[in-house]
Homo-oligomer: A and B are copies of this chain.
Amino acid sequence: MKKIKIAVIGATGFTGEKLVELLLGHNSVELTYLSSRTPEPVKYCEMFPKFLNRTELLCEPTDMKKAAKSADIIFLSLPHTVSFGFVPYLISQGKKIIDLSADYRLKDTKIYKKYYKAEHTDKKNLNTAVYGMPELCGYEEKIAKADVIANPGCYPTAVTLGVYPMFKNKLIETDIIVDAKSSITGAGRKASLTNHYSNIANNIWAYKPFLHQHVPEMTAVLKETTGKDINLNFVPQVIGVDAGIYANIYVKFKNKTTALNIKNIYKKFYKNKPFVRILDGMPSLKNVVNTNFCDIGFAVSDDGKTGLVVSCIDNLIKGAAGTAVQNMNIMCGYSQTEGLL
């Protein structure tokens, strides 16, 4: 069978590197083009010796024409506001695009501007872009036909998978609290005092409390799929782990309930979703690291009024590159799990 050809633009960030790793292990696709801000072409395995004996591909200075000639599907793993410069041309060449930045996630360009401090310059493709979260109702079919996928953010993946079935089933009040902990890899590879080893190891700190730029993405997708305006009080924190997000979602039930009830609702909701696992107890982050799984567990207070949903993922896999490959699988008609399990 002829393998579908793949390009990764932005192959040297944490997410780009993880994409390359997953795509090299995928039997039905062929990586043909890698690029970054490198001034000269360099062997990718010289930049990242972990890829020695695994690929001889060059990493080249980004050239979108060459990317378009080399590949059928193009992953964009770029800083925010950069994808605008590539998507219109690539679409004009008949390519399919999976964009891992935030640029095509928010349909409301005013909110985009507020959080990302830039005008959106590609409203045409923004309108048709599909939010790439295959587990939520309806998206999977749209993904299969889409030209541009807006791949979800890492926090939004953990939170919306964690909370959606309760909104869908009208079980909870719209005011929720999310206490989320993430690996520093979510902040990218750029050197700074913030990500110095000594600032992360044996430490934990909250940042941007109630103010994180992923909040409107979460409220938008929850509104789109449930019709509700959610008041999402979101507090992210950095912890010293290699990878992962562990999100504790606190909800108030409209009517008293039990953890068992909630679990059964989730089991039913996610029963055909291979990457969402509903647990009997509390999740351990380690069980999802290096996988595309999202593990979800529940507890309900004695009085039956307050609920905890713990939802955890590998932030670079299910929170970025893994879901991107899952979307690619759907677009290509492959099994969702190919190359991921």
- Taking beta carbons and an 8 Å cutoff, which residues of A are in contact with B? 14, 25, 49-50, 52-54, 175, 177, 179, 181, 184-185, 189, 191-193, 195-207, 209-210, 231, 233, 235, 237, 239-244, 246, 248, 250, 274-275, 277, 279, 282-291, 293, 295, 297, 299-303, 306, 308, 310, 341
The 8 closest A-B pairs by CB, nearest first: A209-B299, A50-B287, A197-B200, A179-B179, A206-B282, A205-B284, A203-B286, A191-B191
How far does the alpha carbon of A197 sit from the alpha carbon of B190 in the complex, in Å? 11
Beyond contacts A50-B288, A237-B246, A250-B250: 6 other A-B pairs, Cβ-Cβ < 8 A, are: A49-B277, A50-B291, A52-B279, A184-B197, A204-B246, A206-B297
Check if B192 sits within 8 Å of A195, measured CB to CB.
no
Given A210-B308, A308-B235: A202 and B49 within 8 A (CB)?
A: no
A-B contact pairs, 19 of them (CB 8 A): A50-B288, A53-B274, A53-B293, A54-B341, A177-B177, A181-B239, A185-B198, A191-B191, A191-B192, A200-B201, A202-B202, A202-B242, A202-B244, A204-B246, A205-B282, A206-B297, A210-B308, A231-B303, A239-B240
**Which one of A210, A291, A310 has the greatest number of beta carbons of chain B within 10 Å?**
A210
How far does the alpha carbon of A308 sit from the alpha carbon of B195 in the complex, in Å? 24
CB nearest neighbor in B for A299: B209
Given A50-B286, A197-B184, A284-B49: A235 and B248 within 8 A (CB)?
A: yes
Check if B191 sits within 8 Å of A196, measured CB to CB.
yes
Chain B residues in 8 Å Cβ range of A285: 202-205
How far does the alpha carbon of A264 sit from the alpha carbon of B301 in the complex, in Å? 33
Chain B residues in 8 Å Cβ range of A204: 181, 239, 241, 244, 246, 284-285
How far does the alpha carbon of A210 sit from the alpha carbon of B239 in the complex, in Å? 23
How far does the alpha carbon of A47 sit from the alpha carbon of B41 in the complex, in Å? 42
Pick the contact of A209: B25, B192, B201, B308 (CB < 8 A). Answer: B308
Pick the contact of A201: B191, B201, B250, B290 (CB < 8 A). Answer: B201
How far does the alpha carbon of A240 sit from the alpha carbon of B286 in the complex, in Å? 12
Chain B residues in 8 Å Cβ range of A184: 197-198
How far does the alpha carbon of A240 sit from the alpha carbon of B288 in the complex, in Å? 17
Chain B residues in 8 Å Cβ range of A52: 277, 279, 293, 295
Chain B residues in 8 Å Cβ range of A279: 49, 52
